[in-house]
A and B are shown apart, each in its own frame.
Chain A
Amino acid sequence: MKGNKRASQRVWRGLASLCACVTTVALVGTNIVNGFRTDIDKFLGTSSTKVITENADPSEIYTYQSDYTSTTDLVKAIADVAERMSEEGTVLLKNNGALPLSADEKGKISLLGFSSYNPVMGGIMGSSLTANHGTDADTVNFVEALKARGFTYNPDLETLYKGLESSYVTEVASWGGTITYNTITAPANSDGSFFTSKEPSQSALNGANAGWKDTMNNYNVMIVTIARAGSENANYTPGTAGVDPSQNLNQTDPLGLSDDERDLIQAAIDAKASNGGKVIVLLNNASAMEIQELADNEGIDAMLQIGLPGGYGFYGVCDILDGTVNPSGHLTDTYAVDNELSPAAQNYGFLMWANAQPELNINSAIVEAEGIYTGYKYYETRYADCVLGQGNAGSNVGSINGGWTYANEVTYPFGYGLSYTTFTQKLESISVDTAAQTVTATVTVTNTGSVAGKDAVQLYLSAPYTDYDKQNGVEKAAISLIDYGKTGVIEPGASETVTLTADLLYAASWDSNANGGKGGYIMDDGTYYFSVGDSHTALNNVLAAQGFSSANGMTADGDASNVQTWTLDAMDTSTFAKSDNGTDVVNQLQDLDLNHWMPDTVTYLTRADWEGTFPKTYSNLTATDEMMTIMKNDNYQMQNSGSDVVFGAENSMTLANLKGVTDINDPNWDKLMDQITLEECMIRTGFGGTSTKIIESIMSPETIQNDGPNGIYSYPLSQYANTDKSTGDPCAIDANDPNGSYMGGVMCNETVVAQTFNKDLAEEYGKVMGNFSLWSNLTIWWGIGVNLHRCPYNARNHEYYSEDPVLSALQGAATVAGAQQYGVIAAPKHIAFNDSECNRTGVATFMTEQKAREGELRAMQASIEDAHALGAMSAYNRAGVYTDNAHPTLLKNIVRGEWGFQGLFSEDFIMDPSYVTLKEAVLNGITMSCNTGDNSMGAVSGYYGYWTVDNVQNDPQLTAALKQAMKWQAYALANSNAMDGYSSSTRVETVRTFYDNALTAVEVVFALLTVGCIVMYVRSRKKA
Chain B
Amino acid sequence: MKRKISAGLIISCIAAIAALVGVIAYVVNTGTNYYAKMGVDVMVLVLLIAGVVCELITIVLGIKGTSIVGDILPVCGSVLITAGALMLVNARIANLAAVFTFENSAANMADTTSCIVAIAACVVGMLVSILASFFDITTEVKA
Contacts and interface: CB of A to CB of B under 8 A. Distances in A.
Interface of A: 3, 6, 9-11, 13-14, 16-18, 20-21, 24-25, 28-29, 31-32, 35-36, 125, 174-175, 188-190, 232-233, 358-361, 841, 909, 911-915, 931-932, 945, 1017, 1021
Contact of B95 (A28, A911, A1017): A911
Contacts of B106: 188, 190
B86 A14 contact: no
Contacts, number: 110
Contacts of A945: 39
Residue of A3, A14, A21, A188 most packed against chain B (CB within 10 A)? A21
A17 B87 CA distance: 19
Nearest to B70: A13
Interface in B64-83: 66, 68, 71, 74-75, 78-79, 82-83
Contact of A232 (B68, B75, B102): B102
B89 A32 contact: yes
Contacts of A29: 86
7 contacts: A10-B135, A14-B131, A28-B86, A36-B93, A125-B102, A188-B106, A909-B102
B55 to A, nearest CB: 12
Interface in B93-108: 93-95, 98, 100-107
Contact of B104 (A14, A233, A358, A931): A233
Contacts of A188: 104-106
A32 B90 contact: yes
Nearest to A7: B136
Contacts of A358: 33, 107
B134 A21 contact: no
Prevailing SS type, chain B contact patch = helix
Contacts of A17: 74-75, 78-79, 129-130, 133-134
A233 B102 contact: yes
B10 to A, nearest CB: 15
B35 to A, nearest CB: 9
A311 B101 CA distance: 23
A359 B130 contact: no
A618 to B, nearest CB: 22
Contacts of A360: 37
A21 B105 contact: no
Given A175-B100, A909-B102, 4 more contacts: A13-B75, A14-B134, A32-B90, A912-B34
A16 B82 contact: no
A909 B101 CA distance: 10
A400 B10 CA distance: 71
A80 B105 CA distance: 38
B38 interface: yes
B94 A932 contact: yes
A912 B83 CA distance: 25
B112 interface: yes
A232 B134 CA distance: 51
Interface string B34-70: 1011110000000000000000000000000010100
A16 to B, nearest CB: 5
B28 interface: no
B47 to A, nearest CB: 10
Residue of B38, B87, B94 most packed against chain A (CB within 10 A)? B94
B2 to A, nearest CB: 14
A189 B83 contact: no
A1021 B78 CA distance: 21
Contacts of B87: 28
A13 B79 CA distance: 13
B14 interface: no
B4 to A, nearest CB: 12
Query: Nearest 9 pairs between A and B by C-beta?
Result: A14-B134, A17-B133, A28-B86, A359-B33, A14-B133, A358-B33, A17-B75, A21-B82, A909-B102
Contacts of B95: 911
A14 B39 CA distance: 35
A21 B130 contact: yes
Nearest to A173: B109
A870 B48 CA distance: 47
B118 to A, nearest CB: 14
A17 B127 CA distance: 11
B90 A31 contact: yes
Contacts of A175: 100, 109, 112, 116
Contacts of B37: 359-361, 912-915
B19 interface: no
A16 B104 contact: no
A32 B94 CA distance: 11
A914 B38 CA distance: 8
Contacts of B25: none
A11 B131 CA distance: 10
Contacts of B20: none
A24 B82 contact: yes
Contact of A21 (B109, B126, B140): B126
Nearest to B113: A175
B65 to A, nearest CB: 11
B138 to A, nearest CB: 11
A1021 B72 CA distance: 13
A25 B94 contact: no
A312 B39 CA distance: 47
Residue of A6, A11, A16, A29 most packed against chain B (CB within 10 A)? A16
A663 to B, nearest CB: 37
Nearest to A189: B105
A189 B104 contact: yes
Contacts of B135: 10, 14
A16 B98 contact: no
A20 B75 contact: yes
A817 B142 CA distance: 89
Nearest to A1017: B71
Contacts of B32: 359
A167 B86 CA distance: 42
B130 to A, nearest CB: 5
